[in-house]
Amino acid sequence: MSVAEILIKTVNFASTKHKHQRRKDEAQTPYINHPLGVAYILTSEAKIDNIHVLQAAILHDTVEDTDTTFEEIETEFGVEVCNIVREVTDDKSLTKETRKKLQVEHAPNSTYEAKLVKLADKLYNLRDLENSPPVDWDENRINQYFNWSKQVVDGLRGTNEAMEKSLDDIFKRHISCA
């Protein structure tokens, strides 16, 4: 398959899986905008052209948030893509508190490829928080998300200068000691 065919197959798979989901913003943006935006940050800002990383970015929430299984991802897209998706997938059977704690703990031990997806994911979500936050999040919850994200990002440093610079600019605007 050509790179174009692989990417379109991946986008088609993710958009089908997320077809009923919306973001939490006022406009109820289609959820697929998020994984596609994460992949776009990786190509346009981080200058990443590794196809497996871009596919994993497009697929990164399919197992966490839809009925997709890792077996399905491996069968359709191969073990390299599946392993990156596995690394960036939270176990939704755990409490939210545990999931958030594990993200901070796992960040420094992640592979380079997973760190790239994580940085782009956080950058996308923090930009969303600045521009069109979830409708039911008060200031305290937004601040908590900024503080927690910084802890995760601190464990991902030394991976991509452009994304880390953009994240630091955001942290400086929202965290007093950043």
- 128 or 164: CB nearest ligand G4P: 128
Question: Which is catalytic among the residues 64, 74, 76, 154?
Answer: 64
Rounded CA-CA distance 163/152 in Å is 14
d(CA 27, CA 23): 8
Tell the smallest beta-carbon distance from residue 96 to ligand G4P (Å).
5
3-state secondary structure of 85: helix
The label of the residue with tokens 């966490």 reads 64
Name the residues that contact ligand G4P, by CB under 6 A: 23-25, 34, 61, 90, 96, 103, 121-122, 125, 128-129, 134, 145
- Closest distance of CB 170 from ligand G4P, Å: 12
CA–CA gap between residue 6 and residue 2 (Å, rounded): 6
Instruction: Report the residue number, 50 or 125, with the smaller CB distance to ligand G4P.
Output: 125
In sequence order, the β-bridge partners of residue 30 are 22
> In this structure, what token pair is assigned to residue 2?
């050509």
Smaller CB separation from ligand G4P, 61 or 87: 61
Nearer to ligand G4P, 52 or 60 (CB): 60
91 is catalytic: no
- Determine contact, residues 18/35, Cβ cutoff 8 Å: yes
Q: Give yes or no: 45 in active site.
A: no
Give me the catalytic one of 25, 26, 45, 65.
65
- Is residue 16 within a helix (H) or strand (E), and if so which, with residue range? helix 3-17
The number of beta carbons lying within 10 Å of the beta carbon of residue 111 is 11
Give the active site residues. Answer: 64-65
